[in-house]
Amino acid sequence: MIERYTLPEMGRVWSDAHKYELWCQVETLVVEAHAEAGTIPADVVEPVRKAAPPTPERVDEIEAVTQHDVIAFLSAWADNTEPREAAAFVHFGMTSSDLLDTALAVQLVEATDILLGKADALVAALRDHALEHRATLRVGRTHGIHGEPDVWGHRVADFAFAMARSRDRLRRAREAVGVMAISGAVGTYSNIDPAVERHVARELGLKAADVSTQVVIRDGISEWVGALAIMATVCEAIALEVRHGQRTEVRELWEPFGKGQKGSSAMPHKKNPILSERICGLARVVRGQIVPVMEGIPLWHERDISHSSVERVALPDASITTDYLLHLTTRLVSGLVVDGERMRANLDSTGGLIYTSTVLLELVEAGMSRDDQAYPLVQKAAMETWRTGVPFRETLRAQAAQAGQTLDEARLDEVCRPERFVERLGPVFDRLTALS
């Protein structure tokens, strides 16, 4: 991922320097396990443990010749080992995938923990914002058209629960990617004792794969990328709502707009929803990693490396982008400006048409047949309001008079009171209050 969208903590997880630190850690743990078992001399452990990780530049220099990253790493690290002879026992009985998959599992867990912390923060921001606006009336829309009265906090509560589920989904995926293997060529432990694998897994806080060929099969990593894609798409759903709400014709919501910020190079009046649009765009990047990563599940026989080149791009990009999206969406929600007066004006702008569903049911309860009397009456009145702009209650009264029907005006006053929709949502906000 380009530097523009990379936050420092997550960028560090996927840096070459950190990768080689992890490779050193894995190889050192294997050396320790071998020495404890008496497989290799005990006096090689300390020199290996003290050897500084090689620099990315030095590994790149050697790889330009070897065309093999693990061999280049081992050669560069051996140059830092004193005495150098101790390095002969590094990678003893291992194959490259043992090192790569085990270190990758650590990176994935580290990345996940960063994401979970930010997901917690976003859930809290959404919850608090929704509770703050539990009585802020707005119109609910379906197909972009006014439907019935709603409250802004209700809409945000939906996002809060969706993000909480996304976070919990990622927690489960953490277990799926925290899996390692040190089982040697073809995964048969032919040159390495399974006890070595158990020791490394325990020290790194990982789970040894139930079975590995020469690689850990990629179903768990695919699950993880899928969890990130869903989380990113929930961020997009939030941003899309803000984009709609900031349209000139709507003007209910505004992104935070800082002092000195410019909206357009040509039109000074513009305040564009740039954060929301960036969120919507970058969510596509995360979703775009699903298929390439899933295609790493089927490999030729015990292994090939067709998955490797994909994962070097897809896994850092998916997690770095999701990290940035969570950061940006939390900033968006925390600084969001809600225009409650404009929401109420929009709610009232159709002259009461948003109560047609409620009125229809009320007329049915009063004794009218739904299909033959109530629905045609309400629909004719609604179409007249659309055509003329005359308030719905007036067109309804006129249509009822033509049909010889009597309306209970007091009862209609009650069912067309928008605050009653707030009262019905009490249980939603009770559940939201308990969300953490």
The pLDDT tens digits for 234-257 are 999 999 999 999 999 999 999 986
- pLDDT exceeds cutoff 70 at 261: no
- pLDDT exceeds cutoff 60 at 266: no
Note the pLDDT tens digit of each residue in 128-149: 999 999 999 999 999 999 999 9
Backbone angles phi, psi at 123, to 5 degrees: -60, -45
Task: Categorize the per-residue pLDDT at 429 as very low, low, confident or very high, splitting at 50, 70 and 90.
Answer: very high
Same-domain status, 126 and 225 = yes
Of 36-50, 122-136, 191-205, 409-423, the poorest mean pLDDT is in: 409-423
Q: Which two tokens stand for residue 229?
A: 């894609």
CB 359 within 8 A of CB 370: no
Same-domain status, 112 and 147 = yes
Measured between alpha carbons, how far is 308 from 306 in angstroms, rounded to an integer?
Answer: 6
Higher pLDDT, 126 or 302: 126
Higher pLDDT, 157 or 267: 157
Same-domain status, 120 and 71 = no
Q: Last residue of a domain, which of 39, 61, 92?
A: 92
State what percent of residues in the chain have pLDDT above 70: 97
Task: Categorize the per-residue pLDDT at 406 as very low, low, confident or very high, splitting at 50, 70 and 90.
Answer: confident
Same-domain status, 310 and 223 = yes
Q: Which of 143, 269, 301, 436 is catalytic?
A: 143
- pLDDT exceeds cutoff 90 at 258: no
Q: Last residue of a domain, which of 327, 344, 361?
A: 344
- Determine the structural domain holding residue 379 and report its residue range: 353-415
151 in helix, strand or coil? Answer: strand
143 a catalytic residue:
yes
Note the pLDDT tens digit of each residue in 25-51: 999 999 999 999 999 999 999 999 999
CB 199 within 8 A of CB 32: yes
CATH number, domain with residue 34: 1.10.275.10
- pLDDT exceeds cutoff 70 at 357: yes
112, 201, 236 from 278: Cα distances, Å: 22, 39, 9
pLDDT at residue 265 in the model: 55
- pLDDT exceeds cutoff 80 at 262: no
Same-domain status, 67 and 163 = no
- pLDDT exceeds cutoff 60 at 83: yes
Q: Where are any strands of DSSP class E within 128-209?
A: 137-142, 145-151, 179-180, 207-208
Count how many domains the chain has.
3
48, 152, 361, 405 from 339: Cα distances, Å: 63, 10, 31, 40
State what percent of residues in the chain have pLDDT above 90: 85
Measured between alpha carbons, how far is 364 from 415 in angstroms, rounded to an integer?
Answer: 13
Same-domain status, 161 and 243 = yes
264 a catalytic residue:
yes
CB 81 within 8 A of CB 49: no
What is the pTM for the complete model shown?
A: 0.92
Task: Categorize the per-residue pLDDT at 231 as very low, low, confident or very high, splitting at 50, 70 and 90.
Answer: very high
Q: Which of 68, 190, 264, 309 is catalytic?
A: 264
Same-domain status, 28 and 106 = no
Higher pLDDT, 269 or 110: 110
Task: Categorize the per-residue pLDDT at 110 as very low, low, confident or very high, splitting at 50, 70 and 90.
Answer: very high
Average pLDDT value for residue range 221-227: 98
CATH number, domain with residue 331: 1.20.200.10
Same-domain status, 329 and 359 = no
Backbone angles phi, psi at 147, to 5 degrees: -110, -85
**For residue 149, what are the β-bridge partners?**
139
Same-domain status, 123 and 247 = yes
Structural domain includes residue 435: no
Measured between alpha carbons, how far is 421 from 147 in angstroms, rounded to an integer?
Answer: 13
Same-domain status, 326 and 280 = yes
Helices (DSSP H) in 246-365: which residue ranges? 274-287, 290-294, 306-334, 340-348, 356-365
Structural domain includes residue 62: yes
Same-domain status, 2 and 142 = no
Same-domain status, 236 and 379 = no
Note the pLDDT tens digit of each residue in 269-305: 657 889 999 999 999 999 999 999 999 999 999 888 8
Q: Last residue of a domain, which of 310, 327, 344?
A: 344
Task: Categorize the per-residue pLDDT at 190 as very low, low, confident or very high, splitting at 50, 70 and 90.
Answer: very high
CB 105 within 8 A of CB 206: yes
Kindly report the average pLDDT of the chain as a whole number. Answer: 93
Q: Which two tokens stand for residue 369?
A: 């047949």
